[in-house]
Amino acid sequence: MKDETKRAVELSLAILVGLVFIIFGLSKLSNPPELAQNIRNYRWDFLPGWFTRFGAVVLPWWEIAAGVAICYSSWRRPACWIIGGMTALFAVAVISAIYRGLDIDCGCFGGGAKVGIKTLALEIGILAAVGVILKCSRSVEKNSEEE
């Protein structure tokens, strides 16, 4: 694949993932108590209460910041690490909820979407997109250095 094509793929996926994360963050921003409840609904009882509440307060802001940052080439790599890490954590939470048969709101969009295969597919899709972005970014960077 040519470098131009790789750059186009990288940018397109970065904007797509960025938009998804900005929407995720904005939809949860207005109601931290509801997000805290959504996190508790996963019944990860080993998490202390303060940790859950802290997560409910900062998670939407991390999503928005990472969603904006991934659209800029100079911030793309650290944004990918954050988005990849968060998405991996969400995927583990969704898998554990499906495994335990929990009939709960996934908390992805601030309410309305239930945990299930579709949610898991979305998480896996985002992880795959982040992987492609990082790979394209590294490949283009390597080729530039060689030239």
Partner 1 sequence: MNRPLLQFVCLLVIPALLGLIFNAVRANSLKIFDDRPMRPPLENGGQGGNGDSGGKTVDEFNIEELKTILKEGEAILIDARKPEKFLAGHLVTAINIPSTQIFRPETINKVKALISPVDEIVIYCGGKDCNASKDVLEFLIGMEYPAENIRIFKPGWELLGQADIPKAVGEE
Position 75 contacts partner 1 (CB under 8 A): yes
The verdict on 136 binding partner 1 (CB under 8 A) reads: no
Q: How would you class 145 by CB atoms within 10 Å of its CB: exposed for 0-12, middle for 13-18, buried for 19 or more?
A: exposed
| From 14, 17, 66, 94, residue interacting with partner 1 (rule: CB under 8 A) | 66
What three-state secondary structure class fits 144? helix
- SS percent in the chain: helix, strand, coil, step 5: 80, 0, 20
**With respect to partner 1, which residue has the nearer C-beta, 4 or 103?**
103
| Identified binder of partner 1 from the candidate list 13, 17, 20, 69, rule CB under 8 A | 69
Q: Return the residue matching tokens 């309410």.
A: 111
Q: Helix 3-29 and helix 117-146: axis angle, to 10°? A: 140
> Can residue 82 be called a binding residue for partner 1 (CB under 8 A)?
yes
Q: Least distance from C-beta 2 to partner 1, angstroms?
A: 25
Binding of partner 1 by 84 (CB under 8 A)? no
Beta carbons within 8 Å of 124's beta carbon, 6+ residues apart: 91
Q: Which residues are near partner 1 by CB under 8 A?
A: 31-34, 36-37, 40-41, 49-50, 53-54, 56-58, 60-62, 64-66, 69, 75, 77-79, 81-82, 102-105, 111-112, 114
